[in-house]
Structure 1
């Protein structure tokens, strides 16, 4: 019996071959399409890189703030309107021995250079506690030899002695004249230095300890008043150190009426200008503790201070971050 397939025309086989080839191509196309990487919107959603985020500041509990209508407008100035410049303090510690730089700095200070005055003042104050000569150094080394960390303490004492040698006692005690002059001329770094300058140290270092009682009290009180003036000026130029120091002074009720309200207002201002999360959280905690203790009149005074000082700080446009 003859095979009927032998009688089929060639075009039939050719058609079958083309159909099968077309099917295979179609299957291959969709397979490759499914395995292609996504593009446009797909690619954006599936291949988005997440950038690291800055740790947010701890949120303040605003529930406490709504009952007495605390003014927040002063604390929410737009970034586009106010741009505060981060200021750096001069590097006061110099290479080698300080006496190598002293005359040059004195010449600049005499020409009115406030930065030179600040650097001189800071170095002279640093040298005030350095041994004045070899005998003094040996006496201090013998004294610290009794402590367990004698090596580190001795090295520090010798380094300070070497840095300050050649600067006599009279010159060292002149630190305050340079510092006060720079501060009076509005040099913020000099004004900030009063944060760590106590009335007791001032009176002793400037030879006022032996004054008669009335004169002594007058001199000490004048220093304290001037210190507050300097710190307020520095604070209004964005000094975090000055704001913190003033807040502590007012909180201790040392400056008369409305001290508590002033301390509260300064804590709010510290929270406004700082970029340090630890400082922000600390003073947010202080602020929340103080708030329930404020009377309506104290709160009104605090809001007024916040508005006034925030406007001044924004206008001055500088920030001196805490170290």
Structure 2
């Protein structure tokens, strides 16, 4: 009953604001689709609160956390896509290019240097995708020989060849700059980049960043940034960000805490999700957490969860009013 009541109040709050916006034609134009893109506030809200994709937990790698789980397309999170002059992408991907990376690398670097956050984000995604791919023919052949020695199948060799063709010509020193470009876009408020940074493999980020500072400093800064970006996304209602934040807090990956924060975000997830399977999974986790905390800490978690929910509603209302 309590979950249903909260959902109803959330619906009413959004409905009131949407109704007021629809009263004037100018605001109506900001809510309807722009051209043939599905860049609407209503779709953005639907995406936030009906996110049924699997949630990647712990510090999962790129293989176990698909790209679609790491970042949302800018056209569906309420952000207009910046113009990317001369950049050709695959029709089925928001970031992967239609030609080998080296053919568009200079243009992406130019756009990024001139403040285009979408270009910086796409460049970061491609450089990280190519991070472990051989940079030259000799290295590629060594990798092929190693795969043959390990009796890898044809599908593995085919994928290896495809990745090498896509990434060849880009030196490893350039690939390591993915962390820089991702941080630039995230620091400037691009939600795609913040989500991607928050879900990125921490050890890989630390490995790259520790080349210019101590490993301890790099780890501290990376973890702080991941926590901040996930919090920002969570306060906009992104269920995957809420789940990852709760998990990392409970695992003591983010700062020392008494467990009440982790439980609070888990309560928030249970309030927002409409996915019955996701709800059942995290309801079990909530019960396990609650048994390990004192009644006082559980009460604190419930109170914090309601504060977070109020902030989300307020953020959505503010977002709608600016459209």
Q: TM-score, normalised by structure 1?
A: 0.68
Tell me, in whole angstroms, the C-alpha distance in 2 between the residues paired with 1:303 and 1:206: 37
Structure 1 residue 169 displacement after superposition: 1.9
CA spacing shift, 1:203–1:256, aligned 2, 3 Å: closer
In the alignment, what sits opposite 1:137? 140
Tell me, in whole angstroms, the C-alpha distance in 1 between the residues paired with 2:239 and 2:101: 29
Structure 1 unaligned regions, length at least 5: 1-61, 63-69, 319-323
CA spacing shift, 1:275–1:117, aligned 2, 3 Å: farther
Q: After the TM superposition, which residues 43-54 of structure 1 pair with which residues of structure 2 at under 5 Å, given as runs?
A: none
For the Cα contact (< 8 Å) 1:192–1:239, is it kept in 2? no
Name the larger-Rg structure. Answer: 1
In the alignment, what sits opposite 1:79? 11
CA spacing shift, 1:72–1:252, aligned 2, 3 Å: farther
Tell me, in whole angstroms, the C-alpha distance in 2 between the residues paired with 1:98 and 1:250: 37
CA spacing shift, 1:300–1:126, aligned 2, 3 Å: same
Structure 1 residue 129 displacement after superposition: 0.9
3-state DSSP of counterpart to 1:82? helix
Structure 1 residue 76 displacement after superposition: 5.0
Query: When the two structures are aligned, how many residues end up with a matched partner?
Result: 246
3-state DSSP of counterpart to 1:208? coil
For the Cα contact (< 8 Å) 1:133–1:165, is it kept in 2? yes
Structure 1 residue 148 displacement after superposition: 4.2
Provide Cα deviations, 1:265-286, integer angstroms capped at 9, x if missing partner.
1112222333433322211221
1:161 pairs, out of 149, 160, 164, with 164
Structure 1 residue 175 displacement after superposition: 0.6
Query: Is it true that 1:89 corresponds to 2:50 in the alignment?
Result: no
For the Cα contact (< 8 Å) 2:199–2:226, is it kept in 1? no
In the alignment, what sits opposite 1:44? none
In the alignment, what sits opposite 2:204? 201
Tell me, in whole angstroms, the C-alpha distance in 1 between the residues paired with 2:230 and 2:194: 6
In the alignment, what sits opposite 2:104? 101
Provide Cα deviations, 1:195-220, integer angstroms capped at 9, x if missing partner.
443443223224539x6xxx432232
CA spacing shift, 1:148–1:273, aligned 2, 3 Å: farther
Q: CA RMSD in A?
A: 2.7
Structure 1 residue 74 displacement after superposition: 5.4
3-state DSSP of counterpart to 2:149? coil
CA spacing shift, 1:165–1:249, aligned 2, 3 Å: same
In the alignment, what sits opposite 1:221? 220
Structure 1 residue 170 displacement after superposition: 2.0
Tell me, in whole angstroms, the C-alpha distance in 1 between the residues paired with 2:174 and 2:110: 15
In the alignment, what sits opposite 1:296? 295
In the alignment, what sits opposite 2:154? 151
Structure 1 residue 85 displacement after superposition: 4.5
3-state DSSP of counterpart to 1:307? helix
Structure 2 unaligned regions, length at least 5: 16-44, 49-71, 75-93, 318-323
In the alignment, what sits opposite 1:119? 122
Query: Is it true that 1:183 corresponds to 2:186 in the alignment?
Result: yes
Tell me, in whole angstroms, the C-alpha distance in 2 between the residues paired with 1:72 and 1:287: 18
Query: Is it true that 1:286 corresponds to 2:316 in the alignment?
Result: no
Which aligned runs of 4 or more in structure 1 are off by greater than 6 angstroms? 70-73
CA spacing shift, 1:312–1:116, aligned 2, 3 Å: farther
Provide Cα deviations, 1:153-182, integer angstroms capped at 9, x if missing partner.
111111111111222222211111110011
3-state DSSP of counterpart to 1:92? coil
In the alignment, what sits opposite 2:247? 248
Query: Is it true that 1:271 corresponds to 2:270 in the alignment?
Result: yes
Tell me, in whole angstroms, the C-alpha distance in 2 between the residues paired with 1:311 and 1:237: 11
For the Cα contact (< 8 Å) 2:198–2:229, is it kept in 1? no
